[in-house]
Amino acid sequence: MGSGLFEELTWRGLVHQITDADLPRLLDQGSLTAYNGFDPTSPSLTLGNLQQVIMLMRLQRGGHRPIALAGGGTGMIGDPSGRSDERTLLRPDQLASNLASMRSQLERFLDFSPAAGERRALLVDNGEWLASVGLLDFLRDVGKHFTVNAMIAKESVRARLEEREQGISFTEFAYMLLQAYDFLHLFEAYGCRLQLGGSDQWGNITLGVELIRRQRGETAYGLTSPLVLKADGTKFGKSEEGNVWLDAAMTSPYDLYQFLIRTDDAVVGDYLRRFTFLDQPAIIALDQVTDDHPERREAQRVLAHEVTALVHGDGEAGKAARAADTLFVEEVSGLDEPTLLSVFADAPSTDVARSALDGSGLSVVDALVQSGLESSKAAARRKLAEGAIYVNNRRVIEPEAAIQRPDLLHDRYVVLRRGKKDHHLLRFA
């Protein structure tokens, strides 16, 4: 059980640094308890977080017990690692709401059932123990073990001191001590000996390893993974614009699917390794297809399906794949309303009074001009005659054709298309 886990993680590009040369052997033997912390400063985890969630999944499948730590305590402060600005502190009600959402998401990925036995996942909130720690006790039991010199030398702090005129607040400076205390608490309460994290967490993790050694005389371990980067070299963040969220209400399954299917050839192989459970031969075969026939985008399609299925289920992944194909087929009428709006979210739209459908309806010629797809009625008629106009992806050629109430999708929408690329959504109200 767990044989070859470290080698597998390494092949998938998930090992950046380890604190002890003995860790690979322990990972391959199974039975470690390992944890990863998740920052609850947003109402949803992101695609960037998914790598670390999957790391816990891989360990659980390899015979280890995973602990997902929700930072209800540290979330009140904010981790400076990998950031150039100070985090906005959350109100208690915001934090509580975010924690509840995080719990429901993590429970989709890890096995928390008694049937998992010794591998049963745990979900803990560090607010439960940090809130009761007295300041004097904390300074005596934790703070005395570390010098300010060593803490300033940590990359997460040093970068902030060098790159920002205002430096770093004492609140965030103390964050690494709180994270170290988390590791010590989990070691004592659950026998946790391994902390996982992104490469930007290395300084915080090593502090926890050192605290356990100094206070308990025991060996603990750390393993970091490279940050997930986009093709342009920027990372997936949680506080930048354009995040891809794991909550379907914030990023729909279709939008997640579309984001992944647009993955650049340069990074699709890396994403397949990190984000999917496909075996090595399958991924290597997809690498070859990408090299030989990049125009097929087969690796991207597999990536999009696998990740969407992992996050939202096979049904939603299949629906997203079908929706992606409906831009040019008549099945657009079969899309549910949220998916329809996701499919055409980037298309221009026009609001039209429902009264325009009275009588014989809204002529397609008028609709083309009103939407801006054509500049004049004469141009609209020419395109109709050429067979280049579609209503709900059904070709229309009659010059007197009209849009009527039965054409409305979900009693409100009509999709106009000119040629292969130009879509326009009419909204009737």
Write out pLDDT tens, residues 386-395: 999 999 999 9
- Look up residue 45 and give its DSSP letter: -
Kindly state the average pLDDT of the residues 212-240: 84
Residue 2 is encoded by which pair of tokens? 């767990």
Kindly state the average pLDDT of the residues 253-267: 92
235 has a pLDDT exceeding 50: yes
Kindly state the average pLDDT of the residues 229-256: 78
Write out pLDDT tens, residues 103-120: 889 999 999 999 999 999
Kindly state the average pLDDT of the residues 11-34: 96
Residue 223: beta bridge partners? 18, 196
Tell me the residue length of the chain: 429
Number of alpha helices (DSSP H) and beta strands (DSSP E) in the chain: 19, 13
Average pLDDT, the chain: 89
Range picked from 170-179, 270-279, 333-342 for highest mean pLDDT: 270-279
79 has a pLDDT exceeding 60: no
pLDDT over 70, % of the chain: 91
Between the two ends of the chain, the Cα-to-Cα distance in Å is 60
Kindly state the average pLDDT of the residues 11-17: 97
Please answer whether residues 267 and 229 qualify as being in contact, where contact means their C-beta atoms are separated by less than 8 angstroms: yes
**In the chain, helix, strand, coil percent, each to 5?**
50, 15, 35
85 has a pLDDT exceeding 80: no
Task: Give the Cα separation of 68 and 304 in Å (integer).
Answer: 25
Write out pLDDT tens, residues 406-422: 999 999 999 999 998 88
pLDDT classification of 240: cutoffs 50, 70, 90: very low
Kindly list the domain boundaries of the chain, sorted by start residue: 5-225, 253-325, 349-428
Q: Which residue has the higher pLDDT, 276 or 78?
A: 276
Residue 192's pLDDT is what? 98
Residue 139's pLDDT is what? 83
Residue 415: beta bridge partners? 425
Residue 102's pLDDT is what? 87
Ordered alpha helix ranges (H), 16-145: 23-29, 47-61, 92-106, 127-130, 135-141
Kindly state the average pLDDT of the residues 290-314: 96
55 has a pLDDT exceeding 90: yes
Residue 175's pLDDT is what? 82
Residue 30's pLDDT is what? 81
Residue 370 is encoded by which pair of tokens? 């009103």
Residue 302 is encoded by which pair of tokens? 């597999």
Residue bearing tokens 């499948």: 61
pLDDT classification of 84: cutoffs 50, 70, 90: very low
Residue 353: CB atoms within 10 A of its CB come to 10
Residue 81's pLDDT is what? 56
Q: Do the first three CATH levels of 5-225 and 349-428 match, i.e. the same topology?
A: no
Q: Which CATH superfamily is domain 253-325 in?
A: Tyrosyl-Transfer RNA Synthetase (1.10.240.10)
83 has a pLDDT exceeding 70: no
Architecture of the domain made up of 349-428: Roll (3.10)
Please answer whether residues 238 and 39 qualify as being in contact, where contact means their C-beta atoms are separated by less than 8 angstroms: yes
Write out pLDDT tens, residues 117-159: 999 999 999 989 988 888 888 888 888 888 777 777 777 677 7
Residue 230's pLDDT is what? 82
Q: Which residue has the higher pLDDT, 224 or 172?
A: 224
Write out pLDDT tens, residues 170-188: 777 788 888 999 999 999 9
Q: Which CATH superfamily is domain 5-225 in?
A: HUPs (3.40.50.620)
Kindly state the average pLDDT of the residues 363-389: 95
